[in-house]
Amino acid sequence: MSTAVTYENWNQISDAFRIDDKSKGARDVLEWAYKNYPDDKIVYASSFGAEAIVLIDLIHEIKPDAHIVFLDTGLHFLETYEVIDKIEARFPTLRIERKEPKLTLDQQAAEYGSALWKREPNSCCQIRKVIPLREALTPKQAWISGLRREQSPTRANTQFLNRDEKFKNIKICPLIHWTWDEVWGYIREKNLPYNTLHDNGYPSIGCFPCTQAVDENGDSRAGRWSGTGKTECGLHTS
Ligand code: SF4
């Protein structure tokens, strides 16, 4: 087995070792990842959106018992929980962990006031998403994410392998070159379960207080924290 790329040895890895060749597709990246990281050092952090369905199918082919973590904020749509149940039924060998924040919603309301997401969405995301992911990633060397370059200008320079300064980890993004149409082509071709909110104008789906439907031709992430100026939950910003 090759030396795994880690946050610590990133600068010692030669350019040739890095996967940055545009000709390599998602399957190549995932095969490399599961070959190069021990089972307990790699996790896929999944939102169970459309990109996630593609990744889960690909990962299952390569690593049927892969570890997947879902950040269960307690504020997801019913349809999101339904698709997780469907994925668990279709891929029973996968190890899907529902990671909850330390504070329940009632405890958060008691400590910070009700509906923190309306007043301080960054604080709410920090409590319910960023800290739980940090806990999940602390024992890992690498995590997989479904970022695609065309999703937003802030994601346009994402590489297959990224030195993640936020979580001191390696972030692996196998879908960077995929288009939205390619994602849906794959889902339909394989007849995979997906979040039915995608059929109702929700291209990007997060917590229900912070997610709205968008126009068909609008920015795919325009429905997230709409009108607040916030565009990211904080998992992909340093
Ligand atoms: Fe809170 Fe909204 Fe962030 Fe969910 S997306 S954690 S509700 S601010």
For 182, the 3-state DSSP assignment is: helix
Who has greater pLDDT, 48 or 22?
48
173 assigned binding-site residue:
no
Q: Say what the ipTM of the complex is.
A: 0.99
Residue 224 phi, psi dihedral angles, 5° rounding: -95, 125
Phi-psi group of 82: left, alpha or beta (phi > 0 → left; psi -120 to 50 → alpha; rest → beta): alpha
**What does the pLDDT read at residue 235?**
84
Summarize pLDDT for 40-91 with one digit per residue, the tens: 999 999 999 999 999 999 999 999 999 999 999 999 999 999 999 999 999 9
Residues 6+ apart with CB under 8 A from 144: 30, 33, 42, 43, 44, 45, 55, 59, 171, 172, 173, 174
- Give all domains of the chain, ordered by start, each with its CATH number: 10-200 (3.40.50.620)
Confidence tier at 18 by pLDDT (50, 70, 90): low
Q: Measure 221 CA to ligand 1 centroid, in angstroms.
A: 14
**What does the pLDDT read at residue 185?**
94
**What does the pLDDT read at residue 22?**
46
Average pLDDT estimate for 147-163:
91
Question: Is the pLDDT confidence value at 23 over 50?
Answer: no
Of 100, 108, 125, the residue with max ligand 1 atoms within 8 A of its CB, to mutate for a pocket test, comes to 125
